[in-house]
Structure 1
Amino acid sequence: MHHLNPYANQSLNFIELLEKDDGLAKIVGKRKDGNWEQIDFKNSSVLRAVTEATLLHEFGITITLKEDRLCPTIPNRLDYLAWMEEIWNSTCLHELEDFIATSNEEIAADARPPKRKRVERETSLRILDIGTGSSCIYPLLGCSLHSNWEFIGTDIDKESLKNAREAIHDARNDRNSAASKASHPLNLTKRIHLLERERDQSLFPSSQEVCATCLNPVHSTSSPSEEGYIYHMTMCNPPFYASQAEMDESLQAKATPPNAVCHGSANEMICVGGELSFIKQMIDESTRMKDEVIWFTTLIGKLSDVEPIVEGLQKRDASHLQVTDFLQGKTKRWAVVWTFTAFRLPKLEKANKLTSLPENSQHIFELDEHGDVIDFATRLKNDLRDSGFYANLAEDTFQTSTHLIVFAKEDTWTRKARRLKARGAVVQTQDSSLPVVGVRITLRKTEGRPLTQMLLVWIYGRNRQLFDSLCMSIRNRILAKNN
């Protein structure tokens, strides 16, 4: 289970749930000794009642799940959302926009950047949920857990969208939130917008279609698109099977029966060509949205599909991708994230070795620094600023571990750059408003030793050699000052 999953450290307490929910208690019942009967997760009515009770009492969400539609398993769905949260927390968008604002003021290299209002991470995160389903489960859970997330959910099934709208517009949901994990009003009607799609339409609604829902593209100074990002992230739980026969065969081939019953409509479970064909279409269409979306993601239900999906992304020149897996009970799923932007992720929790970051995406050095790490980070920040770099202490800075965000507007440290400068030549970058490379520096005391460990992680840029050379330049700069 992902470490950001609300149930990572404490499982759902079914006894408490039974005591809170009269409807569930009536369905499950008690034995003669006064203890509760065992919950039968293979009974579809019981499973729906458990899920509805969990959503109500844990997340403040009132919904009626339909018999002929998928009944979502809450902890599994939370793993995907937790992974999305980790991706977003690792994205340097706000720091990048602060860099652009600083650069636009044309501050002299030897001057200190003035204090400015920081770009807050509380700014809305917009997510496209492809195939949101009758339960609209990802948008509902996402809005319950995060006050600044908003969703656009799409589906081709009119009945599924009808049921999802009923939950979104249920006035009880805002009242319920006070007694759940949601410590904020849900405001679902303002934060979840549904779009009906046809089979022959693109999986990614255009900016015009999004604007028709009263949502404008998210303005960002770092977006290559003049309109901004239509979505920060996309997500999808695609249909697994190519036919009913394939689905039946898959269930029969399982070594042990599933822990819970699985009911769903054909639209939710089956598509032409199956999961692999669906995701390949998504990859093809994502190339046309590369300037309007930062991170594309999707779940993968079959291990055999992972490799061809990765190969497809590499052929489409995705600038960065990672694969992870989710395992709960007997159920294992995989997920892939990719981008065509210059943003890069550190190696995320449980990142699959097949596509984890190359070894030189980070560097670790031990430095002969014995003092306070915040003092050391401040001196390093000022030194880098004096040399024309953007450098700021990150918000998550502590006495024992300090983080520094560094961007370089242009290459000034490599031998090639120094030779060009000596000849009076100017190195042109693709977009002068954006940095050529970004690095997150973590400084921490080495346990049991009077040294400071410096971890440099690549967070922005397309040139790995430039990142490597910058890391060595920063290290050599520190060593030179200490000698």
Structure 2
Amino acid sequence: MSVEKNILHPRNKHRSRYDFPELIKSLPDLYPFVATNVHGDESIDFSNPLAVKMLNKALLKHFYGVSTWDIPANYLCPPIPGRADYIHYIADLLAESNGGIIPRGKHIKGLDIGVGANCIYPIIGHQEYGWSFVGSDLDPIAIKSARAIISVNPQLKDEISCRQQHNKQHIFKSIVKPGERFDFSMCNPPFHSSAVEAQSGTRRKLHNLGKQRGKEQVLNFGGQGAELWCEGGEVAFVRRMIEESTAIADQCLWFSSLVSKSASLPFIYSALKTADVARIKTIEMAQGQKISRFVAWTFID
């Protein structure tokens, strides 16, 4: 009998513990990375970046029908259950203004700010709800990788497009075209304020996994600089996002961003008040032992 992780969204396909025999059936390449842990359960070594990437490949193939997925070395390899949660809560948000019915199909258009090399949010959003997506990123290698994933999976080909942001000071500018409309935007912002802080977070994560290896720094989920940190951290990034959203207030129904630190919320609420938004929603999500949340705002009453 599978044990449910009640903390995840009710529609999340990852509420039960990973069924490794089934995942291995979908992706035999996962087999060498699976072993029995100290609790007598089958698992992988989550401090091994290659094992984490192989688990993601298996999950995407088994649950979302994505047969080919890969990312360049040292790029962010996100935990899929938590990413799926954000998508499902966005679906609930859209349902609120649709008579309680989740809108499905390609006419629902999402914008993923910082799509990354992994393209996870558009993949899950399209495969779960049929939505179409635009993904943006500063990093040309990330854009190239996301486009490669889309091009080799026929079901994604005409549903997801990627645009490179060429100005690191801009978020929506030059990405959202005149007259273009989105039902929602989403973002997993860089939440550290410096490279030093990001490295400290890496050390803490490895220590919690019990896998510190001397001075070696291996971030099991990877991540390039722009994926992990920006000047001012998540507060500065989300504030800039709020400021820019005022210029396209009628082009997107719901703007949203993950907020990693609860201490960031007062500053973000203050910026939203200044922007004179019509509604604000803060939706909490629990992933493992970590509580996360996203803040959503709309200018449309």
TM-score range, shorter chain: 0.7 to 0.9
Distance 1:210 1:93 in 2: 28
Cα distance per residue 1:414-448 (max 9 Å; x no partner): xxxxxxxxxxxxxxxxxxxxxxxxxxxxxxxxxxx
Partner of 1:257: 208
Deviation for aligned residue 1:80? 0.2
Partner of 1:414: none
Partner of 2:151: 169
Deviation for aligned residue 1:200? 4.3
Q: Are the aligned partners of 1:258 and 1:330 in contact in 2 as well (CA < 8 Å)?
A: no
Partner of 2:93: 87
Partner of 2:137: 155
Alignment equivalent of 1:247, drawn from 191, 198, 210: 198
Deviation for aligned residue 1:43? 1.0
Q: Are the aligned partners of 1:155 and 1:161 in contact in 2 as well (CA < 8 Å)?
A: yes
Q: Are the aligned partners of 2:110 and 2:186 in contact in 1 as well (CA < 8 Å)?
A: yes
Q: Partner letter of residue 328 of structure 1?
A: Q
Q: Are the aligned partners of 2:132 and 2:160 in contact in 1 as well (CA < 8 Å)?
A: yes
Alignment equivalent of 2:189, drawn from 238, 241, 246: 238
Deviation for aligned residue 1:29? 6.0
Higher Cα Rg, which structure: 1
Distance 1:255 1:305 in 2: 24
Partner of 2:14: 7
In the alignment, is residue 70 of structure 1 matched against residue 76 of structure 2? yes
Distance 2:205 2:80 in 1: 23
**Matched ranges for 1:204-283 at <5 A:** 204-205=172-173, 227=179, 230-252=181-203, 257-258=208-209, 261-283=220-242
Q: How many residues align?
A: 282
Return closer, same or farther for 1:322/1:255 CA change in 2, 3 Å cut-off: farther
Return closer, same or farther for 1:202/1:30 CA change in 2, 3 Å cut-off: closer
Return closer, same or farther for 1:261/1:140 CA change in 2, 3 Å cut-off: same
Structure with greater contact order relative to length (CA < 8 Å, sep ≥ 6): 2
Alignment equivalent of 1:40, drawn from 36, 45, 53: 45
Q: Are the aligned partners of 1:18 and 1:25 in contact in 2 as well (CA < 8 Å)?
A: yes
Identity %: 31
Return closer, same or farther for 1:122/1:63 CA change in 2, 3 Å cut-off: closer
**Matched ranges for 1:170-209 at <5 A:** 170=152, 173-174=153-154, 186=155, 188-200=156-168, 202-205=170-173
Cα distance per residue 1:181-206 (max 9 Å; x no partner): xxxxx2x1211010011134631255
Partner of 1:53: 58
Gaps of 5+ in 2: 1-7, 211-218
Distance 1:7 1:236 in 2: 21
Return closer, same or farther for 1:288/1:60 CA change in 2, 3 Å cut-off: same
Deviation for aligned residue 1:25? 0.8
Partner of 2:112: 129
**Matched ranges for 1:390-401 at <5 A:** none
The SS at the match of 1:190 is coil
Q: Partner letter of residue 199 of structure 1?
A: N
Deviation for aligned residue 1:27? 3.4
Cα distance per residue 1:28-62 (max 9 Å; x no partner): 3689xxx9964111111111111111111221112
Q: Are the aligned partners of 2:284 and 2:294 in contact in 1 as well (CA < 8 Å)?
A: yes
Cα distance per residue 1:452-478 (max 9 Å; x no partner): xxxxxxxxxxxxxxxxxxxxxxxxxxx
Alignment equivalent of 1:308, drawn from 257, 267, 272: 267
Distance 1:200 1:294 in 2: 24
Distance 1:313 1:240 in 2: 18
Return closer, same or farther for 1:30/1:245 CA change in 2, 3 Å cut-off: closer
Deviation for aligned residue 1:93? 8.6
Distance 2:245 2:74 in 1: 31
Distance 1:202 1:142 in 2: 25
Partner of 1:387: none
Partner of 2:252: 293
Distance 2:209 2:42 in 1: 20
Deviation for aligned residue 1:250? 3.7
Q: State TM-score, norm by structure 2.
A: 0.85
Q: Partner letter of residue 279 of structure 1?
A: V
Q: Are the aligned partners of 2:255 and 2:297 in contact in 1 as well (CA < 8 Å)?
A: yes
The SS at the match of 1:336 is strand
